[in-house]
A = this chain, B = another copy of it.
Amino acid sequence: MSDSTNGLPPRALAVTRHLLTHGPATRSGLGAVFQLSDASMSRVARQLVEAGVVAEEAERTGDATIGRPRQILTAVPNSRHVVGVKLTGDTAYGVLCDLAGTVIALASLPLPERVDGVVPVDRTVKVVRQLAVRLGKKVPRIDGLGISLGGVIEGRSVVGDGVFLGWHDVPLGDLVSEACGVPAVLTNDVVGLAREQLWFGAGRTHDTFGVITVGAGLGYAVVREGQVLEHLIDNGHLLSHSPLDVSGPVCRQGHRGCVSAYLDRMDVAARLGLDGADVTFEQLAQQDPDWFAGAARALGHLIATVAGGLQTERIVLAGEDVATLYGHPIATETLAGRMPPGAEPLEVSTEPLGFTDWARGAGVVSIQAVLGAL
């Protein structure tokens, strides 16, 4: 069993991250990556093997069979386990993950009833604990807990403003940590997704990228030079309200023909007289046959704008229906029309994200915290 709740020292952390995200490698291969001599690399490797995070295996060689065979270092995924929880307005979705971010088990529980429009904090903590206990049964122990929700998070532990839950300045991280006896980290859900992508997705090849989430509203996250931006300066407002068409529909902020007016479901629903919070993709598509094309076009422009502003070729799209939207020819054509003539197309990935994926994001953040990356 793992003997430490500690984080790894910086170098060891970097190597572990590399093994987790890029797969097994030899000592000297890693040395080349991290600009370390074989000797130093060897010392780091031993540390990790002793900590149980990394294992050695003999190379099942295919070629070059002369000399001492190289040992392959592999991260041991089940050396640590974490639980990730995503809180929505009424439900806690949980996943059990190993070190590699693989989901081992799922569960969800309803959150307690609201009192005066506010979800009771103490009972929410209990729900999270229940979830952790239930999921934790499958593994020797849980090494960390990650919680994500839509809202303003301060300092990895405090919910500054959790609109969906009616919370304000709630130290949820500490409460959960105490209740469960396990270190807990709290993140904004989109930031958590960005952290997950930084290790296991776009970040493997690019250290600057943008994340765009299309759900009830529009969300963004930014990773610049490997740094995840904790708080947007504008809550995404500047991008959401960039103009497309002065004669288009009006968003709730009063902008005519802005991205939001086309793409933000709350805005579109408000215009159609529907209930914004629960409106679905299908409802909108049925209600307004033109909506789909307009939204696809807005998405194409939005992607181009984010790529141009951040100067990155890599954009991550997230949200349940975003793949469908991006799959619309108008989206891709719009984007292509914005690209310089003859340029390589952008690398846009779409992940059909359900609540489980969001919970996994929270889990990955916990992995990072357990390993000492936060």
- Which residues, 213 to 241 on A, are CB-close (under 8 Å) to B? 222, 224-227, 229, 232-239, 241
10 residue pairs A–B, Cβ–Cβ below 8 Å: A210-B309, A222-B311, A232-B311, A233-B313, A234-B340, A236-B308, A237-B340, A241-B338, A242-B305, A305-B308
Contact B304–A235 (Cβ < 8 Å): no
Closest to A258 in B: B338
Chain B residues with CB under 8 Å of A1's CB are: none
Question: Could you give, for residues 252-293 of chain A, a 1 whenever the CB lies within 8 Å of some chain B CB and a 0 otherwise?
Answer: 010100000000000000000000000000000000000000
Assess whether A360 is interfacial by the CB under 8 Å rule.
no
Assess whether A4 is interfacial by the CB under 8 Å rule.
no
Assess whether A247 is interfacial by the CB under 8 Å rule.
yes
Chain B residues with CB under 8 Å of A210's CB are: 309
- Which residues, 331 to 349 on A, are CB-close (under 8 Å) to B? 337-341, 343
- Which residues, 41 to 79 on A, are CB-close (under 8 Å) to B? none
> Once bound together, how far apart are the Cα atoms of A244 and B305, in whole Å?
12
Within 8 Å by CB of A343, from B234, B242, B243, lies B234
Chain B residues with CB under 8 Å of A237's CB are: 308, 338-340, 343
> Once bound together, how far apart are the Cα atoms of A229 and B308, in whole Å?
13
Give residues in A with beta carbon < 8 Å to B.
Answer: 208, 210, 222, 224-227, 229, 232-239, 241-247, 253, 255, 301, 304-313, 337-341, 343
Closest to A222 in B: B311
Closest to A297 in B: B243
Known interface pairs A243-B301, A245-B245, A313-B233; A308-B238 also in contact (CB < 8 Å): yes
> Once bound together, how far apart are the Cα atoms of A282 and B210, in whole Å?
39
Chain B residues with CB under 8 Å of A337's CB are: 255
Chain B residues with CB under 8 Å of A311's CB are: 222, 224, 229, 232-234
The 10 A-B residue pairs whose C-beta atoms are closest, nearest first, are: A309-B309, A238-B308, A237-B340, A225-B225, A239-B308, A224-B224, A245-B246, A222-B311, A234-B340, A224-B225
For A224, A246, A307, the residue with the greatest tally of chain B CB atoms inside 10 Å of its CB is: A224
> Once bound together, how far apart are the Cα atoms of A255 and B353, in whole Å?
34
Known interface pairs A225-B225, A310-B309, A312-B233; A339-B245 also in contact (CB < 8 Å): no
